[in-house]
Structure formats: structure tokens, C-alpha cells
Chains A and B, each alone.
Chain A
Amino acid sequence: MKETEDHATLAEAFNADEPRVNWHDETLWFIRQKRDKAAHTIPDWELLRETASQIKHNVLSNLHDYLLQFEANAKANGIIVHWAADAAEHNQIVHAILQKHGVDRIVKSKSMLTEECHLNEYLAEHGIEVIDSDLGERIVQLAKEPPSHIVLPCIHKKKEEIGDLFHEHLGTAPGVSDPQVLTEAARQHLRETFLTRRAALTGVNFAVAETGEFVICTNEGNADMGAHLADVHIACVGIEKIIPKREHLGVFLRLLARSATGQPITTYSSHFKKPREGHELHLVFVDNGRSTQLGREDFRNSLKCIRCGACMNTCPVYRRSGGHSYHAAVAGPIGAILAPNLDMKKNADLPFASTLCGSCSNVCPVKIDIHQQLYKWRQVIVQEGYADRKKTMGMKAMTQTFASPSTFKLAGKAGRWFMRNVPFVLNNKMNPWYKQREMPEPPKESFGEWYLRNRKKTDE
């Protein structure tokens, strides 16, 4: 398999087209502003976030019992509960259910978990066709790309490109790029899909331990269209998506859509408690590293995530590097703290794809300390030996200099020490700083030298 390029390389490629970067940035900033506006309609917004965060903290600290409670209640409701230790087992379980029913084509609504598990590819290899029914996901599926955003899967695509895809695959007229017309074409195409698929797969936003029900939020109604028409509904859920009580939905549903898109709530918040008479409802719990992350004290809070995408919309790096530069199912700041748990070597670059500005932590509806975790992952990644060797050498040299005041001061006239020892100040074309920025001009004397000349020397 081709070695994945790192975030910086992919981001540089994304930046080759500056007008497009501007467009991507503005589009996502617009959503961040909508989020701000929605949050400001609730005077208790910060208290709501804190409450949600505490509920999730309680979930993490009682996850074992809540999982058992959910399972017992769900079974009593007639839901068939499965457990998958990892992505492979998840895919096998889904495949086995489909085989049992002799199904070779399914319709699927948005599930980042199935992206994480690469379910579509797995099922395709086993002769099962999957059609993604969320409009954005259908678009990237037609383009043979992964989603670039967990809430807005094709936010990187321009309408003209979507028009071309639809012309090729759905038979729309050439050159048509009006979102209204394209959406209508997708509606017709996917309606036919909903009406003809006997199995529907969905994700899960919240699983309620107290009642054994689960909730799926969509704007399009695609999860409901799929699930209520199919004979078999398979819902895939990460084990961390549990909440204790039904009433807690009254906290999370207030936060989710406002954080995600600035809407007061998604169009549909559907509560699935029992299967339709005579039909099957399966729920697959997936671990895939989550129980390991639960054991990492510094990183377990990442499991509070409700997948709203607010951290991506606000992230100045994400907005200017695009979701694909993160080469992981979940992009952006939250992806950068989840991915190293799944594969530290492959994702060693992601925690460094941030300026640690902290905006992500501020918008997070469950108050995950995302930027702090990015910092901590950097330490872990270096300690585990996944840092670039050149960088390690440079850092060691820098450390020695900083540890010794005489080396630092005697390094010569103002600026010279820096020129020699700090990676970003070499004034040549090989230097990434100088490529698009001028160097600071070294002054006549350093502050230290000035101080010696101008203030009493008694301090020494």
C-alpha cells in the first residue's frame, strides 16, 4: 500500500489553489458564525456545556454498567445486540446479518464508525453494494473519495464538480450546478434506492441505558427512510455513545445541532426503541480501541465527543488544509486526538497539525480539552519514538544551548545565535520560514547587551 503522505505535505498541496482555500475557509467560517449565533440565543450555554461534559464524565466512569444496562433493556425491547472488538469483527457481524437475510445491496445513512471500520470496502469485496443516502456522503461516494468532514462530508466540493458527477452518474443535464436541481435529482435517485433495499444500516447519535433505545439525528430524513422501509435495520454504535437517561437527551439535543450547523435542532431526532412488528432491529456495539483510550487518563475525555464537527469549523488549520489532509476517518482537531490511539505511527503527524490556539476546546459542546490533548499526544509520540529523527537532533542541540546561559550569550552578536540554532531563521531558500516571509532584521544589540550598558550591573 502507498505510504500515506503527512498532513503538512497534503496541506501544502491543498494550498496550491489559494482562491479555493479562501472559499473553503469562508464556507466553514460561515458555519462557525452560525454556531456562535445559535449559542448566543441560550444565556445558559456555558452551563449547558458543563452539564453535558459532566454527564459524559459519569458515563465514562460507569461505562461497564451502562453498557450492561443498555443491553438488557434493548434485548427486552426486542433489539438484537452484537459486540465487536474491532473493525474487522464489526464488518463480519454486519456481513453475517446480511448473508442470513440473503441481502446483496443495502442503503446506509451517515455513520462515521463505518468509515472508521472501512465497512463499504469490506462489503464491496464480499459482493454487497452499499449506497450512502446522506446527500453529501452520496456525492463523495460517487467521487470515490472519503468524506472530508464528519457533518458536511463534501464541504470540499464545488457545486460545478458535483454537477459533473451527477451528470455522469445520475443523468442530470450537463453543466447543471444549481443545488436545488441537484438535490432534487438525488432525491429521486435515492427514493428509488430506499424503496428497493431490504436492509438499512445507520449510525447512532445516542444510546440510552435507562430505556434501551437509541437516537439518530438527521436533517434529510435519510436514516428514517432507510430504516422504516427495510426488513432489517442494523445500527452501528461506538461503545462510548451511551448516555444514562432519556431526560439527558434534553441536554444533548440542545447542544448537538447548534454546535454543528447553528440549527436549533436537526429536522429529525428519531428514537428507536423496538423493532417494527415482524422485522429485525440489530445494534452492533463496537470497541475498536475505545476501551484502550478509556484507560489513557490524559486522553479518555476524547470519548465524550458527540461528533458535532464544531471543532473542525472553527479550526483555522482545518479550514485551510481541508479534511483529506488528516488522512483519517475523523478529520480536524478531534480526529487528531482520536487517530493516534488507533494507529500511532500512521497518525503521528496529526497532533502537530495545530497551532494549539485553543478555539476547538472553546466550541466543544462537551468541553473536551482538545488542544491540551494535542499537546500531550505530542509528548507521547516523541517518547514512543515516532518523531522525525532530524527534529530530535535539532531539539537536543537547542535544549543544550538553552540550558547554558554562557553558550547562549556568547553565541555572538544579536540574532547570530538564533540564525545558527533555531530552525526557522536561516535566511535561505531551503528555509521554510523564508519561502514566503522575510526574516526579522537583527538589531544592533540584543536586549541583554543594551541592559548591561544602560542599567546598573549589580544584578549579576
Chain B
Amino acid sequence: MSSRDSILATVARNQPAGLPLPVVPSFVLEEEDLVEKFTNVAVGIGSKVFRVKSLEEVKQVLLEEHGTSGRIISSFPQFSAIAETAIAPDVDPHSLADVHLAVLPAQLGVAENGALWVTDAQLPLRVLPFICQHLALVVPQQSIVPLMQQAYEVIGVQDYGFGTFIAGPSKTADIEQSLVLGAHGARTLSIFLYYQTQDKRLIF
């Protein structure tokens, strides 16, 4: 018998009598102001949060922080003047090793933990948000949900090859529990909460 079959046979023999899958209760977030909660938590875990009304504003903030000398990649066509905006999916991911800044949209944010959800649909290459030195994520303010539970309700049966929640800059506290930002992934995370008014072009 193959290991697969013998493992499955032992599992079948040894597993206890079937217990029903519980109905997950509807959890709620105490705080009512999602944007405020999101902002507080995100800042608490080392993100920078900006409330903006246009992508132009995003650009201004990022140019002020990072200048234009480093390599910038963005999936926003509006950034074409300062960034590479058309990375082909078959590009060698290693070629992104020198990316200074990546500016990407996120699908949703989670108020309870300051995390943002991105998938292949937002990522020219999977490695991009990790390999860049600095990461900026832009998310509509209306896409902030209270808890992870609601985040997965929104994600639903979405099909993706890869998706990730990103909550703050890469960090470690492995040396004597001293928190250091910038372990292996991005050293900083700037979050732009985009307040949608008339401009609907930012619905990703």
C-alpha cells in the first residue's frame, strides 16, 4: 500500500465520530469608526497612513518621501511619469531586486488589524511587495471592513493564484524581543486611504 493510502486508512480508522462543523458566530467590532480604528491599528504596527482625495496626492506624498532617483514600479497607469507601470508577468522576479518603491492598489483593509488584501490581480509579480525596499498601498476608504470575518466574506470564492494580507512593514523581534522594522520584506509601508467622491477611476 502506498504511504498515501496507508495514512488515509489509519486516519479513517482512528478519527473520532463525526462532529458537526460549528456555525461561526457573527462577531462584531466594538469601535464604530472603521477608518479611525484601521488608522490607529495600522500606525501601531508601524505603517504610515495618509488620507487622500486623489492619486495626484499620493504621488506628491511619495515624491516628497522618496524622490525620483530610485526605481519605482506601480500598477497605476497614472504613475507612468515616475514609475514603470507595465511590468510583464513573465519578467524574471530577480530583476526586481533593485526596486526602491512599489505603489499598488489593495482590495480591502481590515480595521481590527490594519491588514490589506492584495492578490495576483493587483500584483504584476508576486515577489514585488516583498522585494521592494518601500511599499505603498492605496485602498478606497469604503473598502475597510471591521474584522477578518468580514474580509473573508468579501473575498468569498475569489479565484487567485496568490493572495496576501499585508499588515505593516516587514519586522522582526528575534533579537531579545527588540522590534526592528525591515527584516526581509519592505522596510516601510505607506497606506493611502482614498476617499472616493466623483472620481470612480480608482475602483479596482
Specify which of A54, A228, A247 is in contact with B22 (CB 8 Å cutoff).
Answer: A54
A184 touches B182 (CB 8 A): yes
- Which interface class (under 10, 10 to 19, 20 to 34, 35 or more) fits B? 35 or more
Give chain B residues whose Cβ lies under 8 Å from the Cβ of A30: 177
CA distance A182 to B175 in the complex (A): 9
Please tell me if B25 contacts chain A, counting CB pairs below 8 Å: yes
Which residue of the partner chain A has the closest CB to B161?
Answer: A274
The listed residue (B130, B131, B162, B183) touching A271 by CB distance below 8 A is B162
Contact B27 A63 (CB under 8 A): no
> Contact at B148–A228, with CB atoms within 8 Å?
no
- Closest Cβ of chain A to B168, distance in Å, is 5
Give the one of B20, B125, B165, B169 with max A CB within 10 A.
Answer: B165
Main secondary structure of the interface of B (DSSP, over half): loop
Contact B165 A265 (CB under 8 A): yes
In the complex, whether A183 has a CB less than 8 A from a CB of chain B is: yes
**Interface readout for B169-191 with A: 1 if CB under 8 Å, 0 if not?**
11111111110101111100000
Report the nearest A residue to B150, measured CB to CB.
A250
> Given A63-B15, A268-B165, A271-B162, does the pair A225, B185 have CB atoms closer than 8 Å?
yes
Residues of chain B within 8 A (CB-CB) of A191 are 97, 184
Q: Are B10 and A291 in contact (CB under 8 A)?
A: yes
Pick out which of these stretches binds chain A: B50-58, B77-85, B109-117: B109-117
Nearest chain A CB to B190's CB is how many angstroms away?
Answer: 15
Which residues of chain B come closer than 8 Å to A249, judged between CB atoms? Answer: 148, 152
- Tell me the chain A residues, 217-236 only, with Cβ under 8 Å from chain B: 219-222, 224-225, 228-229
Asked if residues A64 and B177 are in contact (CB atoms below 8 Å), the reply is no
CB of B93 within 8 A of CB of A271, answer no
Q: Does B60 interact with chain A (Cβ within 8 Å)?
A: no
Contacting residues, chain B, for A153 (C-beta < 8 A):
174
Query: Is A180 an interface residue when CB atoms closer than 8 A count as contact?
Result: yes
Q: Could you tell me if B10 and A273 are in contact, using CB atoms closer than 8 angstroms? A: no
Q: Does A416 have its Cβ within 8 Å of any Cβ on chain B?
A: no
User: Quick check: A273 and B162 within 8 Å, CB to CB?
Assistant: yes
Enumerate chain B residues within 8 angstroms of A55, measured Cβ to Cβ.
21-22, 24
A310 at the interface (CB under 8 A from B): no
* Residue with the highest number of chain B CB atoms closer than 10 Å, among A139, A221, A269, A295: A221
User: Are A62's CB and B15's CB within 8 A?
Assistant: yes
Q: Indicate if B198 sits at the interface (CB-CB under 8 A).
A: no
Instruction: Give a binary string over A241-259; 1 marks a CB under 8 Å from any B CB, 0 the rest.
Output: 0001011111101100000
- Asked if A219 contacts B165 (CB within 8 A), the reply is no
Provide the residues of chain A in CB contact with B173, threshold 8 Å: 152, 219, 261
Q: Are A83 and B184 in contact (CB under 8 A)?
A: no
**Within 8 Å CB of A58, what residues of B?**
18-22
How many Å from the CB of A43 to the closest CB on chain B?
6
A87 to chain B, nearest CB (A): 12
Looking at the complex, which one of A48, A219, A277 makes contact with B90 (CB distance below 8 Å)?
A: A277
Contacts of A47 in B (CB 8 A): 25, 27
Interface residues of B in 1-39 (CB under 8 A from A): 2-4, 6-8, 10-22, 24-25, 27-28, 30
Say yes or no: A276-B126 contact (C-beta < 8 A), given A180-B180, A225-B184, A264-B167.
Answer: yes
Please state if A277 and B183 are interface contacts (CB–CB under 8 Å).
no
* Interfacial chain A residues near B12, Cβ < 8 Å: 64
Q: Which residues of B contact A276 (CB under 8 A)?
A: 126, 161-162
Binding site secondary structure of chain A: helix
Tell me the smallest distance from the CB of A74 to a CB of chain B, in Å.
13
Chain B CB count within 10 A is highest, among A58, A63, A182, A271, for A271
> Taking the nearest CB of chain B, how far is it from the CB of A230, in angstroms?
9
CB pair B15–A254 under 8 Å, yes or no, is no
Residue on A nearest B153 in the bound complex, by CB: A247
A267 with B8: in contact, given A51-B22, A54-B22, A159-B175 (CB under 8 Å)?
no
Question: At the interface, yes or no: B164 with Cβ under 8 Å from chain A?
Answer: yes
Across the interface, name the chain B residue whose C-beta is closest to A301: B16
Across the interface, do A64 and B184 meet the contact criterion of CB distance under 8 Å? no
User: B174, A195: Cβ atoms under 8 Å?
Assistant: no
Given contacts A273-B161, A287-B10, contact A250 B148 (CB under 8 A): yes
CA separation between A62 and B171, bound complex, in Å? 37
Report yes or no: B184 in contact with A222, Cβ–Cβ below 8 A.
yes
Kindly identify which residue among A154, A179, A225, A271 contacts B164, using a CB–CB cutoff of 8 Å.
Answer: A271
**A14-69 residues at the B interface, CB under 8 angstroms:** 27, 30-31, 42-44, 47-48, 51, 54-55, 57-58, 60-64, 67-68
- Interface residue? A91 (CB, 8 A): no
B200: interface (CB < 8 Å): no
When C-beta atoms are compared, the residue in chain B nearest to A249 turns out to be B152
The contact of A287 among B7, B149, B169, by CB within 8 Å, is B7
- Residues of A with C-beta under 8 A to B177: 27, 30-31, 152, 155
Which residues of A lie under 8 Å from residue B202 when comparing CB positions? none
Most buried by A among B25, B162, B186: B162
A270 at the binding interface (Cβ < 8 Å): yes
- Check: A266 CB closer than 8 A to any chain B CB: yes
Across the interface, B11 reaches (CB within 8 A) one of A228, A239, A263, namely A239
Known: A220-B170, A220-B184, A228-B131. 5 other contacts (CB 8 A): A57-B19, A159-B176, A220-B171, A222-B183, A295-B14
Q: Give residues in A with beta carbon < 8 Å to B.
A: 27, 30-31, 42-44, 47-48, 51, 54-55, 57-58, 60-64, 67-68, 83-85, 89, 133-136, 139, 152-155, 157-159, 162, 179-180, 182-184, 186-187, 190-191, 194-195, 219-222, 224-225, 228-229, 239, 244, 246-251, 253-254, 261, 263-278, 285, 287, 291-292, 294-295, 297, 300
Where the two chains meet, the residues of B that have a C-beta atom closer than 8 Å to any C-beta of A are 2-4, 6-8, 10-22, 24-25, 27-28, 30, 41, 45, 89-90, 93-94, 97, 110, 112-115, 125-127, 130-131, 147-153, 155, 157, 159-178, 180, 182-186
> Can you list 14 A-B contacts (CB < 8 A)?
A55-B22, A60-B16, A61-B17, A184-B182, A187-B182, A220-B172, A220-B184, A224-B185, A248-B24, A249-B148, A265-B110, A265-B165, A265-B167, A277-B89
